[in-house]
Amino acid sequence: MEYRELKIKGAWEITPKQFPDERGAFMEMYKLPEFAQVVGHPLHLVQANCSISKAGVVRGIHFADVPPRQAKYVMCPRGAVLDFAVDIRVGSPTFGQWDSVLLEDENRRAIYLSEGLGHCFVALEDDSTVVYLCSEGYNPGHEHGVSPVDPTVALAFPDRDLAGRPLEILLSEKDTAAPTLAQAQAQGLLPDYQAALDYVASLNS
């Protein structure tokens, strides 16, 4: 497996080595020793989630309080999504910036987002299936969102799907009503950069 740290500290692109044959293909999607060596600690899996989205669906920008925290290891075994790691940690040198990875069913890359980062994706094909391995279960009292169409964050959503057809963005009511990054900061919802780093460092010990 190949690991590439994104420009947002705490996020990695992970490319598995595939072994194709006449039957199909086999690959390792998560390997604890390699992962822990790169990231600094193993993924403590508590909950696995799956979403299925039609082309144009946007989910995010979602994040959890730190603590209790939630890291995500995200894969797309079917279809394709453009996945965004968004730095919403107040005090970070890359606050408000993002990086992205194309997750699809050919190269079968994954993205890992450590505690404190925001997560968002847009589906580029119908029935795009996303699997999330989470370090903490869903806790509605500690889950928040930032508007994925906040112009100050300026996520670059494609205007066409992978087949070249026009892509119409579709948001849930909850994500449509989410505050902007500035509003979320003013409301005290965003994680603190140093607190997030300290928490992640505690996992390395």
Residues classed as catalytic: 62, 132
Which residues are paired to 102 by β-bridges? 82
Q: How many residues does the chain have?
A: 205
Non-local (6+) Cβ contacts of 91 within 8 A are: 192, 193, 194
Contact (CB, 8 A) for 74 and 105: no
Residue 176 to residues 39, 130, 149: CA-CA distances in angstroms? Answer: 33, 21, 8
Which residues are paired to 100 by β-bridges? 84
Cα–Cα distance for residue pair 76/130, rounded to 1 Å: 4
Cα–Cα distance for residue pair 3/38, rounded to 1 Å: 8
Cα–Cα distance for residue pair 127/122, rounded to 1 Å: 12
Cα–Cα distance for residue pair 103/124, rounded to 1 Å: 10
Q: Is the peptide bond before 61 cis (omega within 30 degrees of 0)?
A: yes
